[in-house]
Structure formats: structure tokens, C-alpha cells
């Protein structure tokens, strides 16, 4: 591994916790060069909801490449893009009576967020955006400005402006009514709050520590935005594509965001793809006003369309995700009850689950113990204090049980039972 340590930047992170060289992957498993298997409850930080090298998606990709299908196309019309748009419309949007235009902003989630922020300011003529405590929206300057983590924000090297943080759900543990502070500022002409163009929110804060907003909180936020004429941007980059159960993570709340940011698993196979969905009346761009070289990665269109057709024509994947997520929640609750003195907290929704420890040091030890036992998982939260699970949605029930057994053993080894 010396070549990595010699030539790769010190900014590398995941490889420090998993110091092996991976060579092959299938389903919910990664294999090192010597064939050692690791059960993957990380899934590319949520980019592999359908698992590694999913056979149906792989075959569609191989067929497309084998016939010399277009790989790079900027924003030109291609058959692959048409297939993706038609599948998105037929399988996802129309069945939900949703009307959105599609922006292809670039290859990653931060691109989707930047496009939404930029368009919100263009449409409204206002600069300020409301974001939330412990939010994470990406590593570019605009996305960092609406991100909460101080370490990530500090990497910008310049002041991050034109965004105002507000308390996320349960930030004050119920001591104040929902949106008490935000609504007071919006209605008080002496508050000094710059009139916001938009509010940007995650339904479950993944990097922030698997903080799952209550559905009523999300509904009330949507109502508040409508009341004050503020655009609602829903960041579904990590929690979309079925991570919490339904295709969009906000569906259970019954809300209709003005803009939706998606990436990670929208590409299906782990290939880079991002989209920003916008209400048709907000589509006020001039041609080329927002562009980029890698907006048309056709192999990702191919696997994205195939994933939609394969997994979202019925509710089988959604039901499986809810059931397996509930099982993870049960085991995490059992661990909380097993160690009352540790003040553990079970968190999450669907197959986005977290177990909060007293410190990042303890959470790191649990993840290291799991790695030693053949399981990959990461930490999140302001201080890395939450063990975070994002297994592929296609992970079998048996694999879920195998992973939960390893997690239980790892917690026991660290907390002393």
C-alpha cells in the first residue's frame, strides 16, 4: 500500500479506517486482493443502494458499451438520456402526480445543490438562504455555506456568507415549539433577518449524525415556506432513491418541494450522475447559463433507467427496506437497553440508521472492532460520535442479521460485556 501513502494526498479518509486494498465487489460484499470478504454496510456513502455490480444494471451497461454507445455528450440529445428521462417520468413522476423539469447540473450531489441555490436566487432576486444545524450539502463553496460542520466549513478558507442556520428538528429537545425562532424572525420587521430566497433541508441528516426529522416537522416547514413565499429545496442526495423506504424520502410527509436535489444512487450502478428537479415555473435559465462538461455521462443514464425499471415499478423494494430498517432499529434499541449507563441513542429511518455513542473515540473503536470482524461501516455526526449504517437496499435478510451480529459483538467488545 506504499504507493497510496507516497502519492495520494493526506486528505484521504475512508482508507485510513479500512487499511486494505479492495479488488472485487458483488452485492453487499467487497473483497480484498487476497480474497478476504467484507460485508459492506457503507455502500459508497449511499451511492450503491442496489449493491455492487448489480447483475441487471451491469448487463445493461455492458450491452451499451459493447455497441459503442455514446459515453460523453455534454447536454446533447442522446438515446440514453431520452431513455432515462422517459423512465423517470413514467416510473417515478407520473405515478406520484409530480410535475418537475430536470436539470443535469454535473456529476455530483454538490452540483445539484449549487444549481438549486443559484436558481433560487435568480428566481427570487434574494441572496439569503436558510439552512439547518448539523446539515451537510456538499464541499463546494455554495454547498459549504449551507453546511453546519465547522471542520468542513473551515476548509473553505474564506468567509461563507448569505446563509443563516436555524435549529433542526429536536435541536432543543422539545424545549421550544417547532420553528419558534425562525417564524419570529420572519414576522418581526426588526429582526435583521435577510429575507430568504429559499430553505434547504435534509429529511434525515446523514453526515450530521442520522438525525431523522419528524414527518410533522417537515410538513410544518413546508407550510411555513408557503406562508412566507420561500422556496423549499429538498436535498435528497443521500436519502433519496429509496433509502428511507419510498423513492423520495419526503413522500411520507406528504410535501411537495419546489426543488429536489438528487445524486449518489440515482445513477444506479455507482456511476456519477446528479439531477435537480424544479417546478416548471421556476425554469427561468437562459441557455448555457448553468453548465458543465460532465452533465451527459450516458453510461450512468443507462444504469439509472434500468434501476428505475427494475426496482420501482412496484413497492417490493420499499416494503423490504422498511422491514429491514425496522429490524436494524430493533437491534439498536436492544443495545441501548443493554447498556443504560452508556446513554446510547438509536436513530434513523428506513435503512439509514445510526447508533450514537458518548464520543467519537468510542464510535471509532466500535467501527474498528467491526472491521476486524469483517464489516464496513462509518461514523458521522459533529464529532463522529454516531455509528452510521447505509447498507444496500438489496442486502438480504440473512446478511442484515449477519451484520447486526457483528455490530452487537463489536459494541460488546468496546463497552465491556
Q: What residue ranges do the domains of the chain occupy?
A: 2-54+317-415, 59-311
CA–CA distance, 417 with 132 (Å, rounded to integer): 38
Q: For residue range 166-203, list pLDDT tens digits in order.
A: 999 999 998 999 999 999 999 999 999 999 999 999 99
Question: Mind listing the pLDDT tens digit for each residue in 27-79?
Answer: 999 999 999 999 999 999 999 999 999 999 999 999 999 999 999 999 999 99
Q: Is the dihedral of CA 321, 323, 327, 330 positive or negative?
A: positive
Instruction: Mark the ranges of the chain whose per-residue pLDDT is less than 50.
Output: none
pLDDT at 296: 81
CA distance 241 to 243: 6
Architecture of domain 2-54+317-415: Alpha-Beta Complex (3.90)
Residue among 15, 3, 11 nearest 42 (CA) = 15
pLDDT at 160: 95
Question: Can you give the pLDDT at residue 1?
Answer: 78
Separation between Cα atoms, residue 171 and residue 217, nearest integer Å: 12
Amino acid 118: pLDDT: 98
Q: What is the DSSP string of 126-192?
A: --EEEEETT----SSHHHHHT---HHHHHTT-S---SEEEEPPTTTTTTSS-TTHHHHHHHH-TTS-
CATH of 59-311, one of 3.40.50.12500, 3.40.50.2300, 3.30.2310.20, 3.40.640.10: 3.40.640.10
Amino acid 26: pLDDT: 98
Coil, helix or strand at residue 85: helix
* Its pTM surpasses 0.95: yes
Amino acid at each position: 500500500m506504499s504507493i497510496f501513502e507516497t502519492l495520494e494526498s493526506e486528505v484521504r479518509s475512508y482508507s485510513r479506517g479500512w487499511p486494505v486494498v479492495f479488488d472485487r465487489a458483488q452485492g453487499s460484499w467487497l473483497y480484498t486482493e487476497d480474497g478476504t470478504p467484507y460485508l459492506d454496510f457503507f455502500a459508497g456513502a449511499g451511492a450503491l443502494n442496489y449493491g455492487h455490480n448489480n447483475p441487471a444494471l451491469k448487463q445493461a451497461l455492458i450491452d451499451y458499451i459493447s455497441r459503442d454507445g455514446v459515453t460523453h455528450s455534454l447536454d446533447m440529445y442522446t438515446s440514453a438520456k431520452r431513455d432515462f428521462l422517459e423512465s423517470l417520468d413514467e416510473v417515478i413522476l407520473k405515478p406520484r402526480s409530480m410535475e418537475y423539469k430536470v436539470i443535469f447540473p454535473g456529476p455530483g450531489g454538490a452540483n445539484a445543490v449549487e444549481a438549486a441555490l443559484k436558481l433560487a436566487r435568480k428566481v427570487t432576486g434574494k441572496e439569503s438562504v436558510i439552512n439547518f444545524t448539523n446539515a451537510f450539502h456538499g464541499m463546494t463553496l455554495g454547498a459549504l455555506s449551507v453546511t453546519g460542520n465547522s471542520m468542513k466549513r473551515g476548509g473553505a478558507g474564506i468567509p461563507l456568507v448569505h446563509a443563516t442556520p436555524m435549529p433542526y428538528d429536536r435541536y432543543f429537545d422539545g424545549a421550544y415549539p417547532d420553528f419558534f425562532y425562525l417564524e419570529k424572525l420572519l414576522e418581526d420587521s426588526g429582526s435583521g433577518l435577510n429575507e430568504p430566497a429559499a430553505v434547504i433541508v435534509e429529511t434525515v441528516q446523514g453526515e450530521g449524525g442520522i438525525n431523522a426529522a419528524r414527518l410533522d416537522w417537515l410538513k410544518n416547514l413546508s407550510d411555513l415556506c408557503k406562508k412566507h413565499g420561500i422556496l423549499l429545496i429538498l436535498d435528497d442526495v443521500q436519502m433519496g432513491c429509496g433509502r428511507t423506504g419510498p423513492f423520495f424520502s419526503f413522500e411520507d410527509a406528504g410535501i411537495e418541494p419546489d426543488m429536489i436535489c438528487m445524486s449518489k444512487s440515482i445513477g444506479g450502478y455507482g456511476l456519477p450522475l446528479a439531477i435537480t428537479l424544479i417546478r416548471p415555473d421556476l425554469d427561468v435559465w437562459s441557455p448555457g447559463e448553468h453548465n458543465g462538461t460532465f452533465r451527459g455521462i450516458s453510461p450512468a443514464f443507462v444504469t439509472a433507467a434500468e434501476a428505475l425499471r427494475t426496482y420501482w415499478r412496484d413497492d417490493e423494494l420499499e416494503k423490504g427496506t422498511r422491514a429491514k430498517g425496522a429490524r436494524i432499529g430493533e437491534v439498536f434499541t436492544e443495545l441501548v437497553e443493554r447498556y443504560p449507563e452508556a446513554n446510547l441513542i438509536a436513530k434513523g429511518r428506513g435503512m439509514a440508521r445510526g447508533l450514537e455513542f458518548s464520543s467519537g473515540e468510542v464510535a471509532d473503536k466500535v467501527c474498528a472492532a467491526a472491521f476486524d470482524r469483517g464489516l464496513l461501516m462509518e461514523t458521522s455526526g459533529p464529532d463522529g460520535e454516531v455509528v452510521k449504517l447505509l447498507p444496500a437496499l438489496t442486502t438480504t435478510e440473512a446478511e442484515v442479521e449477519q451484520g447486526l451480529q457483528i455490530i452487537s459483538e463489536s459494541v460488546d467488545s468496546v463497552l465491556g460485556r
